[in-house]
Structure 1
Amino acid sequence: MKVMVFVKATQNSETGVIPSEQLLTEMGQFNEELAKAGILLAGEGLHPSSKGVRVKFSGTERTVTKGPFTPAQELVAGYWLWQVDSMKEAIAWVKRCPNPMPGDSEIEIRPVFEAEDFGELLTPELREQEDRIRAQVETRQQE
């Protein structure tokens, strides 16, 4: 199963405080462990929400709002995409993770939808389209 692992933001990450060299080293070692275990598919840290925007949809209208956004603890400061055997395995890996922020912090784990989760709604045509898109993405990543 694929899971998205969200590192929740804090006041420090939202004000642009850069992690210490020690934390960067510890996280680099953790990421190496994930890669060696074949779990890590992707992962990045995110700039503070002050550098982002939100696009609100209401019918055909689109409204763009510039950051920052609040409350900080409801925002995402970084993420990983992992391939694991179970939620239990994902939890075990998160428990091994260095604390990603100075002070208290939180990590959220959510399953990623897989094609079979949609059952009959995913028609053969939609499945073919999904396969084509995934192949295009993989080709670009290999370039």
Structure 2
Amino acid sequence: MKYMLIMRATDDAYAGMANFDFDEMLATVGAFNEELIRAGVLVAAEGLTDAEEGVVVDYSSEPPLVTDGPYGETKELFNGFYILNVASKEEAVEWAKRSPISGPGFKTEIRRVSSIDEFPQDNEWVKRERAWRESTGQL
């Protein structure tokens, strides 16, 4: 099963990361990533640019409203993610507990990634997606 570990931080915790030595942070996170790779569970891992560079598309109106970052009322910023292929949610939790990106103001949300096998296989759109995934080596 695949699980997404969503790395979140409060504004203060995220700002505090600016005080970390960048090379030291890369070495620490790199060592954790290497553990995930050696364990054979890492599918993807990406960091995100600052919220100031992002936009939000709000579908509450027609046409949708596009707002530049930074976002108002931000309590926690989503600043990166991992996708792990593990046997259970409990295993995903154990990996999250080992994350070097931790401390006050940091959280990891864990969500299972749905598999295409969970959708009706006789649906035309599911068939098309399955064919695309097979053609690109994703199944």
TM-score of the two chains, using structure 1 as the length reference: 0.79
1:18-54 per-position Cα deviation (integer Å, ceiling 9, x unaligned)? 7533222111000011011111111111112111001
Mind listing any 5+ residue stretches in structure 1 that lack a counterpart? none
Structure number having the greater helix percentage: 1
2: CA distance, partners of 1:59 / 1:116: 34
Q: Name the structure 2 match of 1:117.
A: 118
2: CA distance, partners of 1:17 / 1:44: 18
SS at match of 2:32: helix
Instruction: Choose which of 68, 71, 88 in structure 1 pairs with 2:70.
Output: 68
Q: Name the structure 1 match of 2:31.
A: 29
TM-score of the two chains, using structure 2 as the length reference: 0.81
1:112-131 per-position Cα deviation (integer Å, ceiling 9, x unaligned)? 1112433x4x5342332111
- 8 Å contact 1:14–1:72 — kept in the other structure? no
Divergent runs of 4+, >6 A: none
SS at match of 2:18: coil
Aligned identity (percent) is 34
The alignment yields a C-alpha RMSD, in angstroms, of 2.6
1: CA distance, partners of 2:133 / 2:20: 34
SS at match of 2:59: strand
2: CA distance, partners of 1:133 / 1:14: 41
SS at match of 2:81: strand
2: CA distance, partners of 1:104 / 1:59: 33
Q: What amino acid is the match of 1:44?
A: E
Q: Name the structure 2 match of 1:128.
A: 127
Give the direction of change, closer, same or farther, for the CA distance of 1:105–1:114 in structure 2 (3 Å limit).
Answer: same
SS at match of 1:75: strand
- Give 1:19-58 correspondences, 5 Å limit: 19-20=20-21, 21-58=23-60
Mind listing any 5+ residue stretches in structure 2 that lack a counterpart? none
